[in-house]
Amino acid sequence: MDRKASLLVGGLAFAEGPRWREGRLWFSDMHEECVKTVDLDGRVDVIAKVPGRPSGLGWLPDGRLLVVSMTDRRLLRLDPDGLVQLADLSRFASYHCNDLVVDAQGRSYVGHFGGDHGPDMPPPPLADLILVGPGGDVRTVARELAFPNGAVITPDGSTLIVAESFARRLTSFDIRPDGALVGRRVWAELPEGVYPDGICLDAEGAIWVAGTIARAALRVRPGGEVTDRVSVSALAIACMLGGADGKTLFVCAAESTDPDECRANKTARIEIARVDVPHAGLP
């Protein structure tokens, strides 16, 4: 089924990492260097300033917010007195850190770029998934991924699925009790022109994929069948299911990924559409 999203809020620099929590959509306005929230009436609040550019968001079991600080390669925690460093990832990430998913035990799986990239550059080197424990211990749990990006964890906590942006596929792993990832396999190959960025999971086990240059979010079943498409007005950067019933699809959209253009023009927005199957799993 094809649908078209409508505008929730505009005037953003670059929205990333959307998460539905406590009746609001939380997101990183990356090139504005802020974590923000927006409600269903379009009211925006600033939660925290992150000079290293925020990306992935998650929460510890005690409710404290975790934020990936991209350019200085750190994972930050929002305490009552402000942001503090939970972990320095610079020894584990060869370039900017990016999205993350936090499991029910407070363990964070963080991806990174692998290296610099751009329209006239070759794909960056393969990269790793990094595991950060709730106490700040760090280790690598998966290697040689083609730009690991958005990730989800199934409701039973047994499986992690990550978007490999430059390979145009979703890749899954079994999660061991200690957080290690094993049993790597392809979950779905994606259609030509669909480069997955942020993703989210629904209650039938399908994954919504923000398809970047496809200017759409696609609902994909295991194996790659596309069942639904929600078109947006610009590059589809990330998506999340939320709302009171979990059936509102939020899609972060941007005219450009260039930081200077994003800050100067503030043409990024968040668009929404109603879908049939509610959210499930993490984030």
| pLDDT, tens digit (0-9, with 9 covering 90-100), for 138-155 | 999 999 999 999 999 999
- pLDDT computed for residue 10 by the predictor: 98
The CATH number of residue 46's host domain is: 2.120.10.30
Domain housing 135: 2-274
% pLDDT > 70, the chain: 97
Query: Distances in Å between the alpha carbon of 255 and those of 189, 217, 269, 273?
Result: 26, 15, 9, 19
Q: Is 102 within the bounds of a domain? A: yes
Query: Distances in Å between the alpha carbon of 49 and those of 33, 90, 118, 180, 206?
Result: 6, 21, 26, 32, 34
In angstroms, the CA 48 to CA 220 distance is: 34
Query: Distances in Å between the alpha carbon of 47 and those of 82, 159, 265?
Result: 10, 31, 22
| Alpha helix segments (H runs only) across the chain | 259-265
Q: Is 149 within the bounds of a domain? A: yes
Q: Is 208 within the bounds of a domain? A: yes
Across the range 197-212, mean pLDDT stands at 97
Query: Widest CA span of the chain, in angstroms?
Result: 47
| pLDDT, tens digit (0-9, with 9 covering 90-100), for 232-259 | 999 999 999 999 999 999 999 999 999 9
Q: Is 205 within the bounds of a domain? A: yes
Confidence class for position 116, pLDDT limits 50, 70, 90: confident
| pLDDT, tens digit (0-9, with 9 covering 90-100), for 23-55 | 999 999 999 999 999 999 999 999 999 999 999
- pLDDT computed for residue 114 by the predictor: 81
Q: Is 235 within the bounds of a domain? A: yes
Positive or negative CA dihedral for 178, 164, 238, 201? negative
Could you tell me the pTM of the whole model? 0.95
Q: Is 283 within the bounds of a domain? A: no
Of the listed ranges 68-82, 110-124, 201-215, the one predicted with least confidence: 110-124
- pLDDT computed for residue 125 by the predictor: 80
In angstroms, the CA 173 to CA 185 distance is: 7
- pLDDT computed for residue 101 by the predictor: 98
Residue with tokens 């023009």: 265
Q: Is 281 within the bounds of a domain? A: no
Q: What domain count does the chain have?
A: 1
Helix or strand (DSSP H, E) at 97: strand 97-102
Are residues 93 and 109 in contact, defined by beta-carbon separation less than 8 angstroms?
A: no
Q: Is 7 within the bounds of a domain? A: yes
